[in-house]
Amino acid sequence: MPDSKSSKKTLAQAIATMEGFYASQNTRAKRNNNPGNIEYGSFAKRYGATGSDGRFAIFPDAEHGFNALNALLSSPAYRGLTVAQAIAKYAPANENDTQNYIAMVCEWTGLLPTSILEKPENFA
């Protein structure tokens, strides 16, 4: 992970930070090797999920978890959305402080809320 004072995070790293993957505590995202807290299902299984904790996928290692997160952000479900729209979809207001999530992701990545995810490989 980049030094937060000197370099920008990727979109996936910023989401992982918001999901608690880099926290010092033993968070759900860390325990599950699931930096994006991706829900368990056919998508997660396609990217190597080995099970569920009841809701979220468990990946064998962080690399599989990040691969799944990057694939999700690059999928047609997110391509063409603004950062704000993508985060609102990813971290809906009924479960998250979405406006804070958007603000933090934009601060850490240098993206604007209106930046379009046209070329997700540039953001993931």
Query: Using one digit for the tens of pLDDT, what is the confidence trace for 28-52?
Result: 999 999 999 999 999 999 999 999 9
Q: What single-letter DSSP state applies at residue 56?
A: B
The DSSP bridge pattern shows strands 57-58 and 51-52 to be: antiparallel
For the chain, the structural domain boundaries read 11-122
Distance CA 96, CA 40 (A): 19
Q: Per-residue confidence at 118, pLDDT binned at 50, 70, 90?
A: confident
Q: What is 11-122's CATH topology?
A: Lysozyme (1.10.530)
Q: Per-residue confidence at 119, pLDDT binned at 50, 70, 90?
A: low
Backbone φ, ψ for residue 58 (5° rounding): -110, 125
- Decide if pLDDT at 94 tops 80: yes
Q: What is the pTM of this model?
A: 0.89
Mean pLDDT of 21-33: 96
pLDDT of res. 3: 45
